[in-house]
Chain A
Amino acid sequence: MNKLILGRYFPGDSLLHLLDPRTKLLGGIAFIFISFLAKHIVSLILLWGFSFLVMKLSGVKFKVYFRGVRPLIWLILFTVTLQILFTAGGRIYFEWGPITISEFGLVNGLFIFSRFVMIVLVTTVITLTTKPIDLTDAIHFFLKPLKPFKVPVEQITIMLTISIRFIPNLFDETQKVMDAQKARGAVFGEGSLFQQMKALVPIFLPLFSNSLNRAEELADALEVRGYQSSNPRSSFRQMHWKWQDSACLFAILLLASVLIWLNSINFLNIF
């Protein structure tokens, strides 16, 4: 629980912290798509370069990022192994029944591994440098055009905001209830799987009950203060588009164009 870096905010004043959350959200999504454009080793090197550049710019130590990848490493390795074992084509190094280790398989594996790790790294950069509440503002902004289609944009945003706002409380409360049950002799993480699951009941039941109570209180508090999601609202936090934001989006556009251009020319002719 404490080791998961993804979704945690590191305060700072780097260039990336200054960027508009809309830029970062858009840029992050764009990067995911761009990473699928890489078909050539040069493109891959470019993407790695870009990933390390944004990690450097965030002002957070590289160590922290790789700790963020660690919980996902088995999932990544599993996918890569499947790719390597079941892709055929090119020079074949090893063959046994349906399993082959081929040139294409290895190359494919490298690309998938890179894509996975880079996407995790870049999205981690975004969550580390953006307050969750700013991200919901950005999501609200991008959802706005859906309003004429009767999408409850305001409700979705307030739900997101409230859930994010209460994550730390929920963590604190989990800790408290766990401590209280431990003091009454409960033991966690020991015994058979069934016993371990049973040991969680004294934690989750109080948590659910408390959360439900709190939700009700919160709804009442919103209502007595006249909150109505359908009313037009102004926001305390204003988003400001700066020239750095335009520059950042331009850089991402440039990266995409270079990758598309690299795909269009045939390198084999050069060598």
Chain B
Amino acid sequence: MQIKFERVSADYQFGPVRTPLVLNNVNTSIPAGSFTAVIGHTGAGKSSLLKVINGLLLPKEGTVRVGDFSIEPGKGQKGLKEIRKRVGMVFQFPESQLFAETVEKDICFGPMNFGMSEGEAKQKARKALQFVGLDEILLKRSPFALSGGQMRRVAIAGVLAMEPDILVLDEPGAGLDPDGKDEIMKMICSLHKEKGLTIVLVTHDMEDVARFAEDVIVMESGKSVFHGKVRELFNNDDLVKNWNLDYPEARKFQIKLEERLGRKLPRLCMTKEELAETLIEVGLV
């Protein structure tokens, strides 16, 4: 499913106080089946961009189109359920949304809200739990008795059990140990590759962007200032400097090395594997 932002602006309201625009005239579209990373500094509007996709934040101006559905100002809550059914959303620290007595009930919450029968939901719960790499034994346990990493996986399973077409994630690896984070990222990647889900991932980690994403959106003060291929971004030093972004480690190494050598390597290296291959190729190793 395609996600299309048409001149979308949004802000938050607290009682009498309105914030400045958190999204300012965002005009871009995320193609179906793509893996898009959203990067930018704190407060640039990354999370707001995610929320506006399934109507948790309604646009003040402009239209958001998700497949054949649209979210427009003044349209209210109508049709949001259909969109939310198709857009799975994993928030930052999703383990803080667990509430049910058992893991099974918690995972079933989403699917049953969207009209699945209990039996069907339970089946989906089992499948989702397996997919996130947890044992079925946990189904009957209380989610509060699990470890932090397990809770995170259960929360993600709760979203996957809804079988969404689009998966939107806000820093799914934050606060996990490197291995745990890596596993979750690989899981997301396989959802994209094997099941063809459209993935939108907010992250601060340029390694994730370099390793997994195809496209990248750079947000700055509520505007989408860049939307293109990941390689295109990291190949353009001016752009990266301009928005004060970080390079992936391999690219950093490459830049330092090129400075020392006084010549360029034949291609842009974003991951360490790529870097190693290139170094062998030019005979430096």
Interface, chain A (partner B; CB < 8 A): 2-5, 8, 64, 67, 173, 176-177, 179-187, 201-203, 205-206, 209-210
Given contacts A182-B84, A184-B158, A202-B109, A210 and B96 within 8 Å (CB-CB): yes
Please indicate the chain A residues that have their CB under 8 angstroms from the CB of B159 in the complex. Answer: 183-184
Please indicate the chain B residues that have their CB under 8 angstroms from the CB of A180 in the complex. Answer: 89, 91, 94, 96-97
- Give the nearest-CB partner of A8 in chain B: B15
Please indicate the chain B residues that have their CB under 8 angstroms from the CB of A203 in the complex. Answer: 99
The answer to whether the Cβ of B16 comes within 8 Å of any Cβ in the partner chain is yes
A259: shortest Cβ distance to chain B, in Å?
34
Instruction: Report the tally of A-B residue pairs with Cβ distances under 8 A.
Output: 68
CA distance A2 to B14 in the complex (A): 6
Please indicate the chain B residues that have their CB under 8 angstroms from the CB of A205 in the complex. Answer: 99
Please indicate the chain A residues that have their CB under 8 angstroms from the CB of B162 in the complex. Answer: 184-185
Sample of 10 more A-B contacts, CB < 8 Å, known A183-B89, A186-B113:
A2-B14, A179-B51, A181-B97, A183-B87, A184-B110, A184-B113, A184-B159, A202-B97, A206-B96, A206-B98
Given contacts A173-B96, A202-B99, A185 and B16 within 8 Å (CB-CB): no
Given A64, A179, A186, A187, which contacts B16 in the complex, CB threshold below 8 Å? A64
Please indicate the chain A residues that have their CB under 8 angstroms from the CB of B87 in the complex. Answer: 183
- Give the nearest-CB partner of A179 in chain B: B56
B77: shortest Cβ distance to chain A, in Å?
9
The answer to whether the Cβ of B69 comes within 8 Å of any Cβ in the partner chain is no
Q: Decide: A184 and B109 in contact? CB cutoff 8 A.
A: yes
Q: Decide: A67 and B16 in contact? CB cutoff 8 A.
A: yes
CA distance A4 to B14 in the complex (A): 10
Given A3, A176, A185, A187, which contacts B91 in the complex, CB threshold below 8 Å? A176
Given A5, A67, A185, A209, which contacts B81 in the complex, CB threshold below 8 Å? A185
A68: shortest Cβ distance to chain B, in Å?
10
The answer to whether the Cβ of B85 comes within 8 Å of any Cβ in the partner chain is yes
Within 8 A of A (CB), among B75-122: 81, 84-85, 87-89, 91, 94, 96-100, 109-110, 113-114
Q: Decide: A182 and B56 in contact? CB cutoff 8 A.
A: yes
Which 8 pairs show the lowest CB-CB distances between chains A and B?
A: A185-B113, A184-B110, A180-B97, A183-B89, A205-B99, A2-B15, A202-B99, A185-B114
Q: List 22 A-B contacts (CB under 8 A).
A: A2-B15, A4-B15, A67-B16, A173-B96, A176-B91, A177-B96, A180-B97, A183-B54, A183-B87, A183-B89, A184-B84, A184-B158, A185-B109, A185-B114, A186-B109, A187-B81, A187-B113, A202-B97, A206-B97, A206-B99, A209-B144, A210-B96
Interface, chain B (partner A; CB < 8 A): 13-16, 51, 54, 56, 81, 84-85, 87-89, 91, 94, 96-100, 109-110, 113-114, 144, 158-159, 162
Given B51, B94, B98, B110, which contacts A185 in the complex, CB threshold below 8 Å? B110
CA distance A205 to B142 in the complex (A): 13
CA distance A64 to B51 in the complex (A): 30
CA distance A237 to B114 in the complex (A): 52
A118: shortest Cβ distance to chain B, in Å?
22
Q: Decide: B113 and A5 in contact? CB cutoff 8 A.
A: no
Please indicate the chain B residues that have their CB under 8 angstroms from the CB of A4 in the complex. Answer: 15
- Give the nearest-CB partner of B95 in chain A: A206
Please indicate the chain B residues that have their CB under 8 angstroms from the CB of A202 in the complex. Answer: 97, 99-100, 109
- Give the nearest-CB partner of B99 in chain A: A205
- Give the nearest-CB partner of B112 in chain A: A185
Given contacts A205-B99, A209-B144, A183 and B91 within 8 Å (CB-CB): yes
